[in-house]
Structure 1
Amino acid sequence: MGVPSDVWSAHKEFSAGVLSNCVRITQLRARTLLKSRSRQHRAIPKLVPEYNIMQSQAFGMDEMLEINYGKRLAFKKSTWTWVTDQAISLMQIEMQLTFELGLADSEEMPMLLWFEDYLIGVRVNVVEYLDR
């Protein structure tokens, strides 16, 4: 599996940049999640802007693939969906760490639980987007 050679040769510069950023952000995520729980909690918010940038790049790559392959693509917006799913799962980990480390007051709990429910709904919606 990989990038088809005709797409790679036509859009090598753009594709290489997007794919290298995917690798870089995956490495940053792995390094962050190998830290202690409290350090993870402090480091995860610093990764979210990286995912925002990556979402824009992934959207552009998906558009390029759609232009080249159109209806032959098995999944539309697959790169964007993957990046978005990774970002949402990272936010869910952050929420779980907030609960585990006892960093939330009882007054904040309803809002945090609502946000966790919201993240689950968004994540399901993003994954369902692949079927469209």
Structure 2
Amino acid sequence: MSCIFCHKVKKRGQILEQNFKALIVYLILNGETEKALEMLAKRYSVDVPKIKVGLPKRHKKKTLGCYNAKNKTISVLNSDALKEPFIITHEFYHHLRTAVDKKHKGTEKKANEFAREFIDAYKSTIAKVSGK
């Protein structure tokens, strides 16, 4: 893969966290959501969640995504949402938090903060590359 985010700056044998987060956002924006989820799962030592288009019936149409801990599935409203880094990383946070005991852990606030860290890392990396 050749992209500006793939330049590996090594620190103790790992990609720096900011570069990793920026790469995850880049992959999602470019339609490689499954690869991004695989990398996230590996990084956090959890199973790779399934992903599907279409929300469960009990969810409101205004919901863009949700996580079902029982079947380890991130569901998104439509195919456009598959390329939305905030939605994917937010729902991955719920997957990460439920990996231990299958109960829905973590608040929406914490999931939003987790997702925002990825978006901010991406924006920061873009700014550095473009010289802004």
Report the TM-score when normalising by structure 2.
0.28
Greater strand share, structure number = 2
Q: Which has the larger radius of gyration?
A: 1
Higher percent of residues as helix: 1
Instruction: State the TM-score, normalized to the length of structure 1.
Output: 0.28
